[in-house]
């Protein structure tokens, strides 16, 4: 189901994309693909998308993850009454889905402002994640997430932060309460799209959860990718075929 947002810094991010070292793994995560994604999703905040793209490029260039086929972007700076989940097809530069997504009950009510990496906090966490295996659990068809950023989201698996369907994530909830319901920290989605979301993201695709937390934006390794980080993860001459 395809359901067709304000920050400075776009030019700086484009400059980083243009000047960052490239590897064969990240060769397709270039400025031309980013432009195609921007055109495919005109309602997404461009800086949010560019930030997600930059983090993904860094993760691939550093050798932390394989080149993904799809990228999900969640903009937690938007209220839960708005469709703030986008899933992109990176091979074709297309938007596959835009829909509602929940935040944790202790992250806020209509908007989310508090985030955590702590088990039992019932808060959402931000940053770059890799979607892993699908499974059938208490919420039905679901998808496990592994956080890739130490101290930010790397406790996601032990916290059981997963993508699952929920009855409280629907337009009818927005119409009745002015917002959707809240989770225990999971990015829950509408039951009508859970299969599409899981099937598109399982097996190593990337999920990026954004919020304008200035400390994270300054310190995230994936948002300040440089030559030294990439070189540290690149094979030496003896390792190359």
Tell me 58's DSSP state: H
Q: Which two tokens stand for residue 137?
A: 């659990």
What local confidence, expressed as pLDDT, does residue 226 receive? 63
Angle value at C-alpha 23, between 130 and 149, nearest 5 degrees: 30
pLDDT per residue as tens digits for the range 110-142: 999 999 999 999 999 999 999 999 999 999 999
Q: State the pTM of this model.
A: 0.85
Q: How many beta carbons lie within 10 A of that of residue 202, not counting itself?
A: 18
Pair 60, 51: CB distance under 8 Å: no
């Amino acid at each position: 189901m395809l359901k067709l947002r304000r920050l400075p810094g776009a030019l700086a991010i484009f400059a980083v994309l243009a000047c960052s070292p490239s590897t064969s793994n990240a060769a397709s995560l270039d400025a031309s693909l980013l432009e195609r994604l921007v055109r495919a999703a005109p309602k997404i905040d461009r800086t949010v998308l560019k930030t997600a793209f930059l983090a993904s490029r860094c993760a691939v260039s550093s050798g932390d993850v394989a080149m993904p086929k799809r990228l999900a972007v969640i903009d937690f700076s938007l209220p839960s009454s708005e469709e703030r989940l986008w899933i992109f097809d990176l091979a074709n530069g297309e938007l596959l889905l835009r829909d509602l997504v929940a935040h944790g009950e202790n992250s806020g009510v209509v908007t989310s402002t508090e985030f955590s990496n702590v088990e039992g906090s019932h808060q959402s966490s931000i940053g770059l994640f890799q979607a892993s295996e699908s499974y059938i659990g208490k919420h039905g068809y679901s998808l496990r997430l592994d956080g890739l950023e130490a101290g930010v989201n790397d406790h996601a698996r032990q916290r059981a932060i997963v993508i699952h369907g929920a009855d409280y994530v629907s337009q009818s909830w927005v119409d009745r309460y002015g917002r959707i319901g809240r989770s225990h920290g999971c990015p829950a989605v509408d039951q009508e799209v859970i299969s599409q979301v899981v099937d598109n993201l399982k097996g190593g695709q990337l999920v990026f959860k954004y919020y304008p937390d200035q400390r994270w934006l300054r310190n995230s390794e994936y948002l300040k990718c440089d030559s030294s980080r990439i070189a540290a993860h690149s094979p030496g001459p003896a390792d190359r075929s």
